[in-house]
Amino acid sequence: MITRSKLVEQLRDYQIRSQHKCPALTVFSPKPLLSTWTDVAVAIFWAVIFIVLLITSYATLYLKHYWVSFFIVCLGILVPIRLKFSRQSLARKRDRRLLLPLSM
What's the per-residue H, E or C state across 5-49?
HHHHHHHHHHHHHHCCCCHHHHHHCCCCCCCCHHHHHHHHHHHHH
Domain spans, the chain: 37-100
> Does pTM surpass 0.85?
no
At 36-85, the pLDDT tens digits run 788 888 888 999 999 999 999 999 999 999 999 999 999 999 998 998 88
pLDDT of residue 63: 93
Q: Does 104 have pLDDT greater than 60?
A: no
Say whether pLDDT at 87 is over 80: yes
* Sequence-separated (6 or more) residues with CB below 8 Å from residue 20: 26, 34
Q: CB-hemisphere CA count at 13 Å for 84?
A: 6
Reported as half-sphere exposure (CB side, CA atoms, 13 A), residue 57 has a value of 16
- CA distances 22 to 8, 33, 35, 74, Å, are 24, 11, 11, 26
Cβ–Cβ contacts within 10 Å for residue 56, how many?
A: 16
